[in-house]
Chain A
């Protein structure tokens, strides 16, 4: 079969291009092992490669204050060998044979994948099963400490040594209460990372790295019957875990605006606005994605057209929706052109946001956005590993591996009225306004007198936000 993936274009394009009834499909079958491991099998023989992709339902959300960054550090430890797999073998049997591997950690989940030539599928399953079942058998203090250093370097490189690199962390710390696990960064704070111990690794592994807290999607060129037999062979005798208490994370509520200034090693100031948004369990996420496009997704988007083109105050504008499992944020950033102040930028931005709240988007804006989002959705289906993530995402966060169908339908069903409604519901006065300015130039902040200065705590363990 060549057309294992299909996207049926059942549309009368000439008559009603905007109402095209496109459907997407990723054929798959499921299997659940007695120990609770959920498996998704989706064969596709386009190229002789296969992706093995595991999600563990654990992320920085499961950490506690003072021990931030642990879930991500643990991800690194998972690559240092396990009971029957010597250090280095994982790379040898993936990248070393023409494939690749990696992992990633978010607030809510940790994933691991191997993309391998199809003849190395069995060894990829062997590798994953071994670290799921036997990681602690070979846990080595020196290797753990090296990874702890590497993660600190990852933080230095990606956050501390980057202009504007700390902005995301400051915004999250400002919008979420300190007790909310979404308030701290996935990569963690440096002193917290330094204090992690081997015993922490052991405890974390026992709680969260059980088959009953994992899903595994296998996507690509493989034989289903043979693969099922291998899965039984390598995973069946790994013990189910105990039940997990998941943190209850409420979406943030800000009743009033919070204003901050951060002095960074930058030459050009930048204004950030962040609003409380929604989690993936709330369908408003779809309309918010349209809203981001309508305000800053293209040259003719509202903010972009007004601030970058028509009255050029800004060099660039961006708007983003972040959707985590239980909560999310909607954010906007604007970089001024020389000679224009952040105060000026903020006032102009607010005028335009007020207008979109009053008017909502036009049908044309909606149609353009829908066409772009639809194309992105389909093009993401090209990679085996991309499809594996889509399937796992549905199963882990919605209990439904076929969630992508609903997701796609809901994304396309968004109306102009929906976008207007979410603009009014979420773009409210309860927001965070952060001015990032060059060192010693706090006076360049927007409404400087009303904004409090953010500093990094002397030990680097958190941000001191202050109040005005």
Chain B
């Protein structure tokens, strides 16, 4: 003890005099002590409403001459897309590049290229966006172009036919993609096609969409009453407001936020392996899980920490065991979808075919583990929380990240203090909370085990694990009659 104290004191003295002497005494087994945690700096923003009802947020960020503008629409396919017209929202978003009353599709493309921008539009399950990132001096002409696309698109029939044909090719290609197959079958098995969360684009639905459907969707959907406009970057709020008011002057008031009322998901079925045959596949793709809670669950923070330890961190339980210790996989993850409705809990990854059975056993053990079988250690708790709390500033590093982060507060009703209070809410979670939410939201008796892989070599071993019966299904999740 004495010797150690002495050497440290000596080292400090010498460090000032001679770097190289200190070097010889460097104890490399000593982990450097971290400095004080940096204070969380949540960027400030302005929030106002335009006359037409759209919300406007401006966040200043002056390190580079860049600006990002996004218009986020609250509500998406699950509220606005008819069940028999899956794909109409995606077609509409694509067709906004197909020409306006005054610009042909080529002219729209050329105008964007001249500005160095690409205006992207997309509609997801619960929100949609249209926006761009540009050099700051291009903000106004870029927004003028966006407004033209949003308000004056002509949606030509010929473009719909071309996009439809391309969608059919891409659907055909996806049938080769084991991850896409796993996604689709998982949605179908967990939610079924009567639930908006279970719907996927098919050739059938792509073929049912007409130009009239697209026109109707566009005029109903892109309305200021459900819009959050966010501008981030090397700008000032007053100038931005002037530009936005001028360029969106022709956007009439209207539209409202949806209620997000969902039908109840199908009743849970008993535990089952749904096997999709992919002959000679090098890997078996696992997609395991079931219905989870909505984003507004009071258990959100506990689930974030629990799931971080289970399957998000590189040294999460799943990845540390199945990838690092056992070498079955290149990566294993788990996550909660956290929608406005009951989004899925899902865990999975690609497993080497020959170890499909062992991987299944290991998977089930870890899922059972977080429910109390394998207690959470102090270090898991510390790391599970700190990694979430301290990674927050990374979301504010780029103009796009910043725009998405701040916009989400308003588009998802997270509250203006969400970032400020985030660390406090995470830190309050206890070990008991983790076990409680793991038991409550991961239903192992009814877990759906979707596996896409080489049936000939893996079906027998999977059955032999005794974990669940095997049901053979096709790429759309329909049972296949087994001879």
Contacts and interface: CB of A to CB of B under 8 A. Distances in A.
B327 A337 contact: no
A99 B390 contact: yes
Contacts of B134: 375
A91 interface: yes
B118 to A, nearest CB: 8
A233 B30 CA distance: 13
A299 B177 contact: no
A98 B63 contact: no
Nearest to B34: A119
A167 to B, nearest CB: 13
A234 B116 contact: no
B116 A371 contact: yes
Nearest to B453: A161
A316 B173 CA distance: 12
A251 B135 CA distance: 37
A416 to B, nearest CB: 15
Given A375-B134, A382-B66, A338 B26 contact: no
B81 to A, nearest CB: 24
A299 B105 contact: yes
A179 interface: no
Contacts of B62: 2-3
B315 interface: yes
Contacts of A141: none
A154 B20 CA distance: 43
Interface stretch (B83-91, B392-400, B435-443): B392-400
Tell which of B19, B109, B113, B137 has the most Cβ of chain A within 10 Å. Answer: B113
Interface string B165-201: 1101110110111100000000000000000000000
B26, B28, B115: residue with the most chain A Cβ atoms closer than 10 Å: B28
Contacts of A237: 23-24, 26
A96 B282 CA distance: 32
A100 B39 CA distance: 19
A27 interface: no
A115 to B, nearest CB: 7
Nearest to A88: B315
A7 B390 contact: no
* Chain B interface size range: 35 or more
A247 interface: no
B68 to A, nearest CB: 9
B106 A300 contact: yes
A59 B413 CA distance: 48
A157 B114 contact: no
Interface in B45-102: 61-66, 97
Judged by DSSP, the binding face of B is: mixed
Contact of A95 (B110, B115, B173, B315): B315
A432 B280 CA distance: 29
B64 A299 contact: no
A89 B116 contact: no
Q: What range describes how many residues of A lie at the interface?
A: 35 or more
B178 A117 contact: no
A69 to B, nearest CB: 14
A153 B359 CA distance: 13
B35 interface: yes
A115 B26 contact: no
B388 interface: yes
A378 B135 contact: yes
Contacts of A381: 64
A9 B137 contact: yes
A118 interface: yes
Contact of A5 (B23, B64, B133, B389): B64
B326 interface: yes
Nearest to B136: A9
B325 interface: yes
B36 interface: yes
Contacts of A13: 137
Given A146-B327, A368-B114, A383-B397, 10 more contacts: A2-B63, A9-B135, A96-B315, A122-B35, A146-B325, A152-B352, A161-B283, A163-B177, A371-B113, A379-B66
9 contacts: A3-B62, A44-B63, A99-B390, A119-B38, A153-B328, A299-B105, A299-B106, A337-B169, A368-B110
Interface of A: 2-5, 7, 9, 13, 44, 46-49, 83-84, 88-89, 91-93, 95-101, 115, 117-120, 122-123, 125-126, 130, 134, 145-150, 152-154, 156-158, 160-163, 221, 229, 232-234, 236-237, 265-268, 298-300, 305, 308-309, 312, 315-316, 335, 337-338, 364, 367-369, 371-372, 374-375, 378-379, 381-384
Closest 10 CB pairs of A and B: A98-B390, A149-B327, A48-B38, A368-B113, A375-B116, A371-B116, A119-B35, A163-B176, A156-B282, A96-B383
